[in-house]
Amino acid sequence: MFRKVVRRFTLGALLVVSVAALIAATGGSAGLPPVPTTSTFSHDGATPPNGPNACPGAGINERHYCLVVTRYNGLDQNGGVEVDLTLQNYDQSSLTNPTASLRWDNGSVTNGANLSFVSSNPSICTGPTSGGPVNCSFPNLPGLGSAADSSHQAPCGPSGPICSTVKLYFTAASTVSSVDFSAKADVKESNQQNGANLDEQIVDSAPMTFDANTTDAFDATVALPNKHPLLKGIFGGHPASVTFPAGSSPFVAQFEEGQASACFPGVSCTLLQVTTDLSGASSGTFSASDPILWTADITSTNTNVLAVHYYDPVSITASAPTKTLTTAGSSFVNCDGVNSGSNPPSGLDPNRDYFAINRTTDGTKTTFQVATSATGKAVSVGSGTFLGSCIRIIGDQKAEKLTSCTALSAGPAPAVPPALCAAKLSNSTVRVYLWDSANGGIHY
- 88 and 187 share one domain: yes
Supply the pLDDT for residue 99: 95
Q: Residue 259 in 3-state DSSP?
A: strand
- Region of residue 272 (phi > 0: left; psi between -120 and 50: alpha; otherwise: beta): beta
- Residue 265 within a domain: yes
Question: Is beta strand 200-211 parallel, antiparallel or unpaired with respect to 75-76?
Answer: parallel
Residue type, 209: T
- 437 and 320 share one domain: no
- Residue 364 within a domain: yes
- Residue 31 within a domain: no
How many CB atoms sit inside 10 A of residue 385's CB?
A: 11
Supply the pLDDT for residue 338: 94
% of the chain with per-residue pLDDT over 90: 59
- 302 and 439 share one domain: yes
130, pLDDT greater than 90: no
Q: Supply the CATH number for residue 153's domain.
A: 2.60.40.10
Domain boundary among 211, 233, 260: 211
125, pLDDT greater than 50: yes
Place 371 in a pLDDT band, splitting at 50, 70 and 90. very high
Place 308 in a pLDDT band, splitting at 50, 70 and 90. confident
- Residue 30 within a domain: no
Q: pLDDT tens digits, residue range 136-176?
A: 999 999 999 999 999 999 999 888 999 999 999 999 988 88
Question: Is beta strand 307-310 parallel, antiparallel or unpaired with respect to 439-443?
Answer: unpaired
- Residue 27 within a domain: no
- 201 and 221 share one domain: no
- 135 and 272 share one domain: no
- 293 and 325 share one domain: no
Place 227 in a pLDDT band, splitting at 50, 70 and 90. confident
Place 257 in a pLDDT band, splitting at 50, 70 and 90. confident
- 344 and 401 share one domain: no
CA distances from 172 to 114, 220, 443 (A): 5, 13, 30
> Lowest-confidence range among 29-43, 224-238, 241-255, 411-425?
29-43
114, pLDDT greater than 50: yes
CA distance 404 to 392: 23
b/e burial code for range 128-165 (CB count within 10 A of at least 16 → b): eeeebbbebebeebebbeeebebeebeeeeeeebbbbe
- 275 and 348 share one domain: no
Q: How many domains does the chain have?
A: 3
Supply the pLDDT for residue 16: 43
Domain boundary among 360, 387, 414: 387
Mean pLDDT in residue range 207-212: 90
- Residue 88 within a domain: yes
Domain boundary among 351, 367, 387: 387
For the residues of 72-123, what is the DSSP string, one character each? ETTEESEEEEEEEEEEEE-SSSPB-SEEEEEEE--TTSTT-S--EEEEEESS
Domain residues for the domain of 238 are 2-22+214-306+395-443
User: Is the backbone peptide bond immediately before 412 cis, with ω within 30 degrees of 0?
Assistant: no
39, pLDDT greater than 90: yes
Contact (CB, 8 A) for 253 and 247: no
Contact (CB, 8 A) for 16 and 443: yes
- 320 and 206 share one domain: no
- Residue 29 within a domain: no
Strand order of the sheet with strand 251-259? Answer: 16-20, 439-443, 272-277, 251-259, 218-223
- 118 and 182 share one domain: yes
- Residue 32 within a domain: no
> For the whole model, what pTM was predicted?
0.84
Q: Residue 193 in 3-state DSSP?
A: coil
- 218 and 194 share one domain: no
CA distance 90 to 70: 19
DSSP classification of residue 6? H
Can you list the positions of beta strands (E) in 329-438?
337-339, 353-361, 365-371, 384-394, 401-402, 419-424, 429-436
The size of the chain, in residues, is: 444
Supply the pLDDT for residue 163: 97
- 108 and 201 share one domain: yes
b/e burial code for range 63-77 (CB count within 10 A of at least 16 → b): bbbbbbbbbbebbbb
